[in-house]
Structure 1
Amino acid sequence: MADGHRNENTGSAQVVAQVGTLTGDMHLHLPRRQAEPRNQVPNPTSHYTNNERQLSEISAALLRPSDEEQVPAIAVIVGPPGSGKSATGYRWVFAHSNTFPDGVFYAPLGSGPDDAGAPGAESEALRQFLIRVGFEPREIPDSLASRSAWFREWSAGKRVAVVIDDAVRAPQVRHLLPGVGRSAVLVTSVGDLSGLRATDQVTFVEITPLEPESARELLRRIAGAPLVDAEPAAVEELIGLCQGSALALSVAAVLLVGRGERPVAPLVARLSREGRLVRGLSRDPELSVDVVFDAAADRLSPAEHGCYLAFGQHQGDGDISLEALAAGLDADPEDVEAHLDRLVAAKLVTRTGEERYGANRLVREHARRRAELHEGRSAEARRIRDRLASYYRIAAVRCGHAMNPRRGWLERFWPGLTSGGAHVEKAQALQWLEAERRTLRAVIDDDHREGRVETCVLAIALWPLYEHSKDFADLEETSHYAERLAEHRELPLVRTLALVQRGFAPLGRQEYAAAAELFAQARKLCTDHGDLELTATTIESQALAARGLGQVVRARELFEENLELARKSGNPQRVGVARMHLGSVAPASEAVLHLEEALAWFEKGDAVNTAKTRMWLGMRLGELGAAEAAGVALHRALDTMLELRRHTDVAQIRLGLAELALAAGDRDEARAQQREAQALYRSQGWSSQAEQVEARLAGPEA
């Protein structure tokens, strides 16, 4: 109302504007025909399974009370390719379409616009929106901004739902938002949409991998319950292979149909083969893992795509550090981190720790297959794989040397190999080796298949890791690889050391006869080539096996021979180790002298051997009745081994303290120490040692 006058509107209108004084032209964008409420969203699949939590979260975000702020509510569904993001969105709209009487609109964006901001798919989606609400095609403006404004004008005050499929960036979503009113926007994301938080109220809903029971139910719905329930063990393996991916499970279920009775186990056997999972789930272009992951990879920039390929070339199935990726891509770590952020946003990879990233088997196999099917990518992928392997070899040598710099075999066999590079602290080296254990094993496997001498280098370099962790399976296999390759390459001294390392696996499992046989082979080979230091090493190893077999006299003879050779070598470290071992079997009074001399050397900077020597010193002093001195030595050894996390040594020291307690008549303390040792053995999987302690606990002396 102005100056006593008022304007009235009667009838109905799509858009009404109240203005003051006009200059120029006034445009009201009204459709020529009346719009009809409609649902453009594809129908949901009849096999939709689970995700009830996500559906509830979407409802909480989009179905708001009428007294809330009247701006469009936005929910973004995020999840990896093939997880069922779109299916979840379609299911929610199907259940709630009546809530939006003014229409349900669908915008399939696909790849979306390029980095230059071309209109792309959202501009075409807006054009279709406007046509469906009544505008003539010739009326609709060409620019994205104008189309977006027209749709906002038309939808202001209405209640509509907009479903946006495969949004890559936040601006795409903003262009498709309806006007002010109680409308809802449901987005499936294939990119980083976190920028929406800056301007809009957004709820992010994550689709997680299907739990085993839900995965089993999905298989039942597609392939039939009788077929799935007939092979529970094989079905469990199939679910594990598909890693909770709704798409992979759906394809697998389709493959099972019509294959006769009990088809699950054969399918699992085919898909389990290296490189066969994605290939086996991509034979039908209408329902293909390849197609879905190709669409995700096609959205990546060239640099991001190179990063994606690296996950396919990374050895093994473990996660990967930023440092390793930067080495594999020969790129700046900051740039690589930015590319990884994009892959994480697209749910292709996940962060597994500080500057560490992982990808599931579907992603790794697709990235590898994508490279194999394209000649240009194949060459790039091979370069990435070679650089990654080189990074791990160099770092493993450096860290193995940092853990045991006095060992010396690498420098002797390959002069200069351990020199150069940044200094690595022992604790840092162990941390790196433990973090990369699975990948390092995969690198050795690759080198062995290719017949590379690096197999021997890595097997020797990783000895400190295996010796620390007591990973006897990896120690035995990698040393066996090195032994065979050294024989083929005519490297007898390298083969000798590999045989010795291999023998320490049965020695650690207390299979002393098997260990003795390998050590005897190593000694014969070494004697034939007249190498003093390696001969001493083989003799020392034979003595350890003899001690384990209870052959104390034989062990003492061998340890004395070892000490004599150590003296001839002029290596004080070797002399110290020889004295320590001899002190474990010599008569107690003589043993104490050997152990005290060894301790004087090791205390100069060898924490592990210092603690080992104190352990034997405590045990031998206990035999001599010097209980107080024995207890001091054992407790000091225990403190060091606890700090170094050397679990087998801790257990052995506790058994020594138990014997000391029994000698003092303190059965409760003895049993407490034995239980601690038994628990340690069990936690590390050393069943035979745990059973021996169990027998002691059950015995009358306990």
Structure 2
Amino acid sequence: MNEKKSGTRLRVLGPVDIWRDEHSVSVLGPKQRTLLALLVVRANRVVPHDRLLTALWAGKPPATSRRLLHNYLWSVRRLLGDANALVGTPTGYTLRLRPGDSDLDVFLSETAAGRSAMAAGDPAKASERLGSALALWRGPALDGTQPDFQAVEGAALEELRVTALLDRIDADLVLGRHAELIGELRLLVAEHPLNEGFRGQLMRAFHRIGRTAEALEEFRAARRHFREELGLDPGEELVRLHQSILAGEPVTGSIPAERARISSTAVVPRQLPADIARFTGREESLRRLDLLLSGEPGGASAVVITAITGTPGIGKTALATRWGHRVTDRFPDGQLYVNLHGYSRGQPVTGAQALYQLLRGLGVATDEIPHEVDERASMYRSLLAGRRMLVVLDNAAKAEQVRPLLPGSSLCKVVITSRDSLRGLSVTHDVHSLTLDLLSPGEARTLLGAVLGEDRIRDEPGAVLELARLCGHLPLALRLAAAHLSSRPTLSVADFVTRLLRENRLTALDIEEDPHIGVRAAFETSYRSLPEPARRTFRLLGLHPGPDIGVDEVVALAHSSVDDVRAALDTLIGAHLVQHGIAGRFVVHDLVSLFARERAEADDSEPVRRGALTQLFDWYLHTTKAAMEHVNTDYSGITLVSEPPSHGIPVFDDHDSATRWLDAEYPALISAVNHAAEHEWFGYAWQIAYTLDYFFYLRDRIDDWVTVHQTALSAVRQAGDRHGEGRVLNALGTANMFSGKIERCLDYQRQALDLSRTAGDRKEEAYALGRLGYSLLWAGDFRQAIQNCVRAIELFSRLGDEHGEATVTFTLGIAHLRLGHSLDALRCVERCLAFERKAGNRNDEAYTLKVLGDVHESLGDLTTALDLYQQSIQLNREVGNRRFEANSVNGIGRIRRRQGRHAEALEHHRNALAWAREGGDQYTECEILLDLGTTLLETGDGRAALENQQAALDAALTVKDPYLLGLAHDHLAHALHALGRTDEARSRWKSALDILSPMGVPEAGKIAERMRETTARAM
């Protein structure tokens, strides 16, 4: 057992080296030896960078330490001869070793086997295995490493050797080898004069072979030495042995007595609860627990502790129990289990009570268990010393409840389950945290199938997935739902889903005859354990309508300080009632949120609840307005329903910070609009929605734009705000335009125009005319668009509204461009660009640069057009607008085509197309496909051109823009004509002419000319 006869073994129980093919391979340099030794001691576990640096430089690394560390690691990797053995991670390095790859791993395995043999009543085998383990030692552990490192880590390993030696001598004493042991024990007592175990073994050996006087003299020598060195008398167990010898009583066992009891009674506890029936999922969590177990030999100096934490009902105990049963063979000395009742209806188990249970499980008689907690803990650690056991501490409340129950032996593995994060424990111990998440939809379905049977759920796949969703994919809720269905075999899953949708889900999931095992009861115990500030914050979170929430929103809800809110959230996170979301936000599970809302309704009055939500909506409205002012939206003429809050409104420095906030808050803002409208905060509902109007367009959220403004329209009408109604009608009309419903768009906007004229509100009339003019562009009625825009510009000019005038002038410029009035378009768009630069509206400036490029392209000034497109691309990249960037990239493609540089043109078109499709912008996609098809046609690839032009026509039909549809028919005709399909081409040209001719656009004349030419050729 001492050496591998072939292959490689890493050796740290003596001089650090590598044993390869029966030869020692030296590791040169103390730093390389230290690095290798640390990785072996922590094998199969990530060793953090800081720990590596501390080991090499004793906490004082030089400035170049990181670079030097990589050099040393490279040297170690080369020595190992296996490129995959040493693995880097973001936080450190892991040395992957298989069982038996290090002498330390063999030592630990052999000592565990020896102790198991002793517990099973086979001292001969125990002596043999323990002797083999001890024979692996070739000198001081970690010899040749850095002095500070060896002093700490080597001492820990030496303790393991001494414990194994005591165990081997115990076995030999039981075998009657007293005389043979005396010489060895004399040497050990001289080497370890303060070790009462060796002294007691020597006394016992003397006494058993009739040399009682020498046994008594050993005690006197021990007492003298202890008093001189420590000022203390020998321990109780050595005194008791001395008294037994004086009384002539037979002496057996070893010192301390706890070790004798565990050996003589051969207690191998198996206390884990029964495995959870039909356990499903959690494969990744089980794998992580297995990895920690595989790394156990590397943890020679520290107990491996895993804390399984998570939301109530997430399945922490089920996972710990399943894993414990799965790895029974890895813990030959047994498994201890204690339920600490940290979140039960009664009082939590105290440290003294838990230690009592654990000691009884280890076979200690009731009358031998000490009264004091510290003495119980000492006895507990002594009993576990050198034993390979699993200790499961279930349902812990706080770190201080757990600390007295942690073994001192590194061979033990501790698994703790708790709703608390137990962060305090990680300060004093090396704790591996495993936070359980909800089951995936697939795992939830598997769980339901396992409990109910596949036959029960096979025919209702949709209802099963909906049931899982309503249970929040929470294992406890799923099992309760399955219990309800199991008790009623004729009840369909769909009918039970209907009940959950109709009733309070927490009540519907309760088991009437055993309500204490329900989801509500699980949440209630966690809630009761919270301090009052955290309880209040938890209740307020239940009122929040959104899917997640930020600190600032909680501050608004609670009307409290940021520090107090952060402290409360920290407590709730620690209790796993709240989880961290993305971008610094927080998430509350659906069922937890429902419970929080119940508590709010029970504990807080209606005015308190409504006041908190009013504060929140107030904050949302004014913060959204503050952000949108950087994104470029006109709020003139709108009187907000409240004054800005006195504090808490963030200051946005620029466009980027504003849009980041809007992106992060977007789902919560939509939920706020819906909740406010449903619960009669009508003013907040329509004003938050309207404030987001331009952002919907900017982010291409067309469906949300329509549905949110439909809600806003209902709210503003119930509020009786005619002025606001006109604004919402205009916004809703534009949203419908972008969704392809142009007639509905025009109807809404004409309603808005009528409202403004009836009220005699010139500003609103100008605003409505401008919106209507823009929508008429999409309808293809360019002349009418120009008339509306001209009238709107006149009104805005009289009112001195420069922003409104510039916005409508831009629409006017596009209408002129469509009709071929390039110089008029140029004057309009240049005027808009000047205003946008003056106002700092970077988003609109970026798009205006693109349109100005189109104008110069129509004038034949390709150089200026190219420069404008490039400016637009740069600015769009700065503001993060990929959609508008695609337009300008496509414009460069057109310029390159006109310059005869077709390969570059195709590259630009295709990049632009990918970005447009990525954003789901079918209008831009249609424009790009038309240009791509045209460029392909010029390269002679008629079939690819036809394919792209057909795709463009399909897109045009989807977006329902008549001008774009006419162009698509025209471009498709060109492709068909090039392929010799003249009749089909003429048919497409006729369709194009029918659409474009009434618009008065120049393309109509060109199409008519082409039709005459093709007809003449055909004749």
Which bin holds the TM-score, normalised by the shorter protein? 0.7 to 0.9
**Cα gap change, 1:214/1:577 in structure 2, threshold over 3 Å: closer, same or farther?**
closer
> Contact conserved, 1:448 with 1:455, CA < 8 A, in 2?
yes
2:50 corresponding residue in structure 1: none
1:8 corresponding residue in structure 2: 204
List gaps (5 residues or longer) in structure 1.
12-16
Separation in 2, partners of 1:670, 1:35: 84
1:501 corresponding residue in structure 2: 731
2:279 corresponding residue in structure 1: 48
SS of the residue 2:748 aligns to: helix
SS of the residue 1:404 aligns to: coil
**Cα gap change, 1:527/1:673 in structure 2, threshold over 3 Å: closer, same or farther?**
farther
2:703 corresponding residue in structure 1: 473
Match of 1:303 among 511, 519, 533: 533
What displacement does 1:437 show? 0.8
2:874 corresponding residue in structure 1: 639
Letter of the 2:859 partner, please give it: L
Match of 2:851 among 616, 621, 626: 616
Q: Give the % identical residues.
A: 24
Match of 2:830 among 582, 591, 596: 596
Separation in 1, partners of 2:714, 2:370: 74
Matches within 5 A, 1:656-671: 656-661=891-896, 663-664=898-899, 667-671=902-906
**Cα gap change, 1:563/1:95 in structure 2, threshold over 3 Å: closer, same or farther?**
closer
Match of 2:782 among 537, 552, 574: 552
- What CA RMSD, in Å, does the superposition of the two structures yield over aligned residues? 3.7
Letter of the 1:280 partner, please give it: A
Select between 565-574 and 282-291 the one with higher mean Cα deviation.
282-291
**Cα gap change, 1:663/1:111 in structure 2, threshold over 3 Å: closer, same or farther?**
same
> Contact conserved, 1:170 with 1:194, CA < 8 A, in 2?
yes
Match of 1:427 among 652, 656, 679: 656
Match of 2:600 among 353, 367, 371: 371
List gaps (5 residues or longer) in structure 2.
1-185, 191-198, 209-217, 238-256, 934-948, 950-970, 976-1019
> Contact conserved, 1:503 with 1:516, CA < 8 A, in 2?
yes
2:493 corresponding residue in structure 1: 264
Larger Rg: 2
**Cα gap change, 1:391/1:59 in structure 2, threshold over 3 Å: closer, same or farther?**
same
1:492 corresponding residue in structure 2: 722
Matched, 1:191 2:425: no
What displacement does 1:223 show? 0.3
> Contact conserved, 1:76 with 1:205, CA < 8 A, in 2?
yes
Matches within 5 A, 1:530-569: 530-569=760-799
Letter of the 1:90 partner, please give it: T
SS of the residue 1:408 aligns to: coil
Separation in 2, partners of 1:533, 1:632: 37
Matched, 1:239 2:468: yes
What displacement does 1:566 show? 2.2
**Cα gap change, 1:269/1:672 in structure 2, threshold over 3 Å: closer, same or farther?**
farther
Select between 59-68 and 459-468 the one with higher mean Cα deviation.
59-68
Match of 2:556 among 318, 327, 351: 327
Separation in 2, partners of 1:488, 1:73: 63
Separation in 1, partners of 2:234, 2:638: 86
SS of the residue 2:223 aligns to: coil
What displacement does 1:26 show? 6.0
Separation in 1, partners of 2:297, 2:852: 81
SS of the residue 1:562 aligns to: helix
Letter of the 2:918 partner, please give it: S
Match of 2:455 among 226, 229, 244: 226
2:631 corresponding residue in structure 1: 403
What displacement does 1:8 show? 0.9
Separation in 2, partners of 1:416, 1:293: 39
2:745 corresponding residue in structure 1: 515
1:314 corresponding residue in structure 2: 544
Larger relative contact order (C-alpha < 8 A, sep ≥ 6)?
1
Separation in 2, partners of 1:119, 1:521: 67
Letter of the 2:477 partner, please give it: A
Separation in 2, partners of 1:645, 1:66: 51
> Contact conserved, 2:553 with 2:616, CA < 8 A, in 1?
yes
SS of the residue 2:638 aligns to: helix
Letter of the 1:643 partner, please give it: E
What displacement does 1:496 show? 0.9
Per-residue CA deviation, residues 6-25 of structure 1 (Å, 9 max, x unaligned), is: 511689xxxxx985258789
SS of the residue 2:338 aligns to: strand
Letter of the 2:632 partner, please give it: N
The structure with the largest helix share of the pair is: 2
Per-residue CA deviation, residues 279-328 of structure 1 (Å, 9 max, x unaligned), is: 433344264222222223333222223333333222221x2212222332
What displacement does 1:477 show? 2.9
Per-residue CA deviation, residues 365-391 of structure 1 (Å, 9 max, x unaligned), is: 23223333x335887665544443333
Letter of the 2:829 partner, please give it: L
Match of 1:680 among 898, 912, 915: 915
Q: How many residues align?
A: 690
**Cα gap change, 1:437/1:295 in structure 2, threshold over 3 Å: closer, same or farther?**
same
What displacement does 1:154 show? 4.1
Separation in 2, partners of 1:137, 1:296: 34
What displacement does 1:504 show? 0.8
> Contact conserved, 1:410 with 1:461, CA < 8 A, in 2?
no
**Cα gap change, 1:501/1:67 in structure 2, threshold over 3 Å: closer, same or farther?**
closer
**Cα gap change, 1:151/1:470 in structure 2, threshold over 3 Å: closer, same or farther?**
same
What displacement does 1:226 show? 0.9
Matched, 1:391 2:594: no
> Contact conserved, 1:41 with 1:106, CA < 8 A, in 2?
yes
Per-residue CA deviation, residues 186-222 of structure 1 (Å, 9 max, x unaligned), is: 2212223344444444443443433444333222221
**Cα gap change, 1:26/1:381 in structure 2, threshold over 3 Å: closer, same or farther?**
farther
Per-residue CA deviation, residues 525-582 of structure 1 (Å, 9 max, x unaligned), is: 1111111111111112222222212222222222222222222222233332333222
**Cα gap change, 1:440/1:528 in structure 2, threshold over 3 Å: closer, same or farther?**
same
What displacement does 1:68 show? 7.1
Select between 524-533 and 292-301 the one with higher mean Cα deviation.
292-301
Letter of the 2:721 partner, please give it: L
SS of the residue 1:86 aligns to: helix
**Cα gap change, 1:195/1:456 in structure 2, threshold over 3 Å: closer, same or farther?**
closer
Letter of the 2:620 partner, please give it: Y
Letter of the 2:837 partner, please give it: E
Matched, 1:20 2:223: yes
Select between 453-462 and 69-78 the one with higher mean Cα deviation.
69-78
Select between 249-258 and 511-520 the one with higher mean Cα deviation.
249-258
SS of the residue 1:584 aligns to: helix
**Cα gap change, 1:148/1:512 in structure 2, threshold over 3 Å: closer, same or farther?**
same
Separation in 2, partners of 1:40, 1:202: 23
Separation in 1, partners of 2:281, 2:748: 56
Letter of the 1:621 partner, please give it: H
**Cα gap change, 1:182/1:267 in structure 2, threshold over 3 Å: closer, same or farther?**
same
Separation in 1, partners of 2:485, 2:576: 28
SS of the residue 1:561 aligns to: helix
What displacement does 1:692 show? 5.9
> Contact conserved, 1:595 with 1:617, CA < 8 A, in 2?
yes
**Cα gap change, 1:515/1:665 in structure 2, threshold over 3 Å: closer, same or farther?**
farther
> Contact conserved, 2:620 with 2:688, CA < 8 A, in 1?
no
Matched, 1:343 2:546: no
2:336 corresponding residue in structure 1: 105
Separation in 2, partners of 1:329, 1:313: 11
1:282 corresponding residue in structure 2: 510
Letter of the 1:678 partner, please give it: L
> Contact conserved, 1:410 with 1:417, CA < 8 A, in 2?
no
Select between 666-675 and 596-605 the one with higher mean Cα deviation.
666-675
Select between 219-228 and 28-37 the one with higher mean Cα deviation.
28-37
Separation in 1, partners of 2:877, 2:302: 61
2:1000 corresponding residue in structure 1: none
What displacement does 1:100 show? 5.0
Matched, 1:527 2:721: no
Normalised by the size of structure 2, how large is the TM-score?
0.61
Separation in 1, partners of 2:282, 2:651: 50
What displacement does 1:647 show? 4.3
1:14 corresponding residue in structure 2: none
Letter of the 1:541 partner, please give it: R
Separation in 1, partners of 2:568, 2:855: 60
Separation in 1, partners of 2:848, 2:291: 66
What displacement does 1:502 show? 0.8
